Structure 1
Amino acid sequence: MKVAIIFLLSALALLNLAGNTTAKVILRKANCDATIPGCPKNYNPVCGTDKFTYANECLLCFENRKRLNPVLIEKLGACENSRI
């Protein structure tokens, strides 16, 4: 009985640790260079606070130029439930 309890507690601990694989939320402004007339075509996705995935930080900068309230970078990488 004690072995079964120890096994179950160990399994729960491992499952709990395995669930902590989400990306770190950073919430920062995009690093924008106003002198660049366009953006590179590299794919280095960022997730905005508007839940859109932007192909790179430069494209987020260009989108922010159209907005009154700028979108921040929520995390590096694609959004999990990205609205496209």
Structure 2
Amino acid sequence: MKLTILVCTLVLLSLSVISVMGQGWKLTPPREAKCSARSELGICNKILKPVCGDDGKTYGTECLLCYDNKRYKKNVGIVQQGECPGITKQFKSF
């Protein structure tokens, strides 16, 4: 009986870890955006290089994430280069 409970617990734990990884969640902490005085003023390159913020939103560039942080007094970090996984996507316009 104890062995059955142990096996079931291990299977459920494994499935939950696989589920979290499948949703694109990262186990590493977000990195701080590299912001400059220009990016905080919104003077950004118009070439899109999306980044995924730790708020679950996709930003058109790291510069635009910096601008958003400054404008709204936030401290969003970068989880990964590229779009955020899932449905929640928000490109900031230039």
1:34-49 matches, cutoff 5 A: 34-35=37-38, 37=41, 38-49=43-54
The letter for the 2-side match of 1:75 is: Q
Match of 1:31 among 28, 31, 34: 34
Unmatched tracts of structure 1, length 5 or more:
1-18
2:74 equivalent in structure 1? 69
Task: Count matched residues.
Answer: 66
Q: Name segments (4+ residues, structure 1) moved above 3 Å.
A: 22-26
Aligned counterparts of 1:69 and 1:39: Cα–Cα separation in 2: 18
Deviation, structure 1 residue 34: 0.6
The letter for the 2-side match of 1:72 is: G
Structural RMSD (CA): 2.5
Q: Structure 1 residues 55 and 26, CA, compared in 2 at 3 Å: closer, same or farther?
A: farther
TM-score w.r.t. length of structure 1: 0.63
For residue 68 of structure 2, give the secondary structure of its aligned residue in structure 1: helix
1:12-70 Cα shifts (integer Å, max 9, x gaps): xxxxxxx98x6865511111111455101011110001111001100000000023331
Q: Structure 1 residues 71 and 29, CA, compared in 2 at 3 Å: closer, same or farther?
A: same
8 Å Cα contact 2:54/2:78 also seen in 1: yes
Structure with the bigger percentage of helix? 2
